[in-house]
Amino acid sequence: MKKLVLVINGESHVEYDRNKILPNDQIAYLDKMDAKMDEGIPHNGGHLFAPDAQQKAQFVANQLVHAYQDNNEQLAAATMSYLGDRYPDLQQIVVTEPDGKLSISLIYDEPYEKVETVQFVRPEDLNS
């Protein structure tokens, strides 16, 4: 089973293990989240009624990122669980800040891999 990873500026910050079974009360909570979103979600200064699955995923990812930034562990855990449970193909929530604006992308087709930095040294700087 694939992990879901919250990636901020190239680094993993939160990982959700889909192998863990959610307790029934948590599944019920996720069902309530779904039902509430079916009634509508805030969108571009208005309200989007009956959002589709992708719109829900983007909304919840946005909530996750803001909860993480605000150190709201309970909301971050709930939103990460929702995305991990309801979107089994989702592998990464990628957050970048180009030009100071927050950008959130949902990646379904590529697992997170830690980027290794390679330090190159000129041959004349090598100690033999």
| H-run or E-run covering 8 | strand 3-8
What average pLDDT does this structure show over 23-39? 95
Number of helices and strands (H, E) in the chain? Answer: 3, 6
Q: What is the pLDDT of residue 34?
A: 94
pTM, two decimal places: 0.85
Look at 1-10, 14-23, 32-41, 103-112 and tell me which has the smallest mean pLDDT. 1-10
Helix (H, G, I), strand (E, B) or coil at 119: coil
Alpha-carbon gap, residue 61 to 83, rounded angstroms: 8
Q: Is the pLDDT of residue 128 over 70?
A: no
CA distances, 82 to each of 10, 76, 97, 114, 127 (Å): 22, 10, 24, 24, 53
pLDDT for the residue 1: 56
